Chain A
Amino acid sequence: MINLTVNGKLHQVDVTPDTPLLYVLRNELQMNAAKFGCGMGQCGACTVIVGDRTVFSCLYPIASVGDRDVRTVEGLGTAESPGPLQQAFIDHQAVQCGYCIAGMIMRAQALLEEIAQPTEAQIRAHMNPNLCRCGTHMRILAAIRSAAASGRITPRQKVQGA
């Protein structure tokens, strides 16, 4: 059994250590926000936050997680009470098919927790690894800008020695 904390909640999962984190989230914990896109770290649909880093969960061995908290879009809000980024994505209708969006939001979340008011260049550089095949990038960028402007995202606590 492997211990795994997701969105603050501890789970015990019975998987081999070479299982990618994405498979554990989707198949063992039925948390289906993170998507399987390419399986090769090229598209970003599987992006989640582990500790303070955004990672491609399709290539992330479960054995690498250790005691760090895994965060997925399920932890940012609910349909009734969406988090600031989720609300901004709704407001800007940044979704076409929606497949990439959970990954987009998690990558943007990590950025805004680290840099509350990023420049346009910082947003674009940070979001670069995530692809949207529908082409809604301009709306995605607008949603991130307005979530930053709302000032509602709590900055990440700097961990000593991290």
Chain B
Amino acid sequence: MASMFSKRRIAGASAGIVVLGAILYFALAWHPAMAPVSQPDVPLTAGVVSQGQRIAELGDCVVCHTGPAGARYAGGLPLRTPFGTLYTTNITPDRETGIGNWSLQAFRRAMREGVARDGQLLYPAFPYIHYTHVTDDDLKALYAFLMTRGAVHAPARSNELLLPLRFRPMLAFWNLLYVHEGPRPSMGASPVERGRYLVEGLGHCSSCHTPLNLIGGEKGGDYLGGGEVDGWSAPPLDALLGAPQPWTQEQLVAYLSTGLATEHGAAAGPMRPVVENLSRVPREDVEAIAAYLFSIQNKAVHNAAAQPEASAALANHVSNGKTVFEAACATCHGSGSAMSAYEQRPPLALSSAFNGSSEHNAVLTVLQGLPWPSEPGVTTYMPAFADVLTDAQIADVVTYLRVSAAGRPAWPDVNKTVANLRKESSP
């Protein structure tokens, strides 16, 4: 009888916990819809719109919110995540499919809390955990800028996510862990403070440059310690002094505003559109970003310049790689070639791609090349070698340059990496 009683008590208590949990859960997940507005509720003056353009460029909005061959800001870019594929949405002022009937208040809630105008929770591929730090003034300017773009009718594509994640209220728990809501000071006393605002807020640098945990959250203990995006390795931003030639602040400013750094290399992969945007913002913003990043350098840099271990297999890779290099790469990258003497381009021995901890950037650059940039005046270009070289040849040439040019220990299993990256990056 007593055991029966206690069982019932346990059952009752469990039910109570479940009910309480459900109430708490819906309290977290439920957000009211905000009333649609018939026109933007902010004066769209030229000054505010132009400030908003600067904010949009610092925030890289157009990069994700533009689909392949689609209209700018009309969404549709597939974002491949470990949880499935998300399609970015239309942020033009189209009233039906964009944000044309959003008030400033609704826009601010989306940026700060990741909640759409209709109360639906947004997926954190949209970096509201960073945009939450943007000031009210900057959000208002950004709103004015977006509301003055051309309205494009472009309905959002359905996401292809793992089943449980299609239920958006689940995101409430994630938000509890990762959203630390609220603006930060945008104009501090020093460029370092301004830079911190730009890096942590609008620039959302850590979205790519910090490793993610199993639930897609940034690992707090390894802030800017290096991450991965679309197969590319996003290098650590706190180890700039660990490069073969330590980065200087001037080089970082040049890299961020032109896409090319002497002694380090050219922006590639997902970083390319970032530097294209940064080439259009006032130089003081880029200088502030560089100043902040230089203030967080990890002094204990581990510079693993160990001698490569010699083996017959490695010698074979290196010798085959040299053959590939002479045929396919040397015209531009060989010592004394015209291209390598142009614009103080660094030799591959110093290139970040061959000195990093991962071979991904070297392999992807060989496979995809560097397409002609959208900006006139930028001249970094490299043809794609996916159709020219086999997996083994790419592995050989990458190993040759890693070992013989950069003088670093060979990456293990490069063959496998090439095969995987080729598969993932082919359309």
Contacts and interface: CB of A to CB of B under 8 A. Distances in A.
Given A53-B387, A64-B393, A59 B323 contact: no
Contact of A19 (B327, B385, B390): B327
Interface stretch (A26-34, A36-44, A77-85, A154-162): A36-44
A56 B323 contact: no
Contacts of B389: 61, 64
- Interface size class on chain A is 20 to 34
A66 B329 CA distance: 19
A63 interface: yes
A64 B332 contact: no
B176 to A, nearest CB: 46
B339 A59 contact: no
Interface in A58-81: 58-64
Nearest to A121: B69
Contacts of A64: 327, 388-390, 393
B327 A42 contact: no
Contacts of B160: none
Q: Which of B327, B382, B383 has the most CB of A within 10 A?
A: B327
A120 interface: no
Given A40-B383, A56-B383, A18 B326 contact: yes
Interface in B372-417: 381-383, 385, 387-390, 393
B328 A42 contact: no
A20 interface: yes
A55 interface: yes
Contact of B388 (A42, A55, A129): A55
A17 B323 CA distance: 7
A56 B388 contact: yes
Interface string B309-350: 000000000000011111111011000000100000000000
Interface of B: 322-329, 331-332, 339, 369, 381-383, 385, 387-390, 393
Q: Which 10 A-B pairs have the closest CB atoms?
A: A41-B383, A61-B327, A18-B326, A53-B387, A18-B327, A18-B323, A59-B328, A39-B331, A17-B323, A60-B388
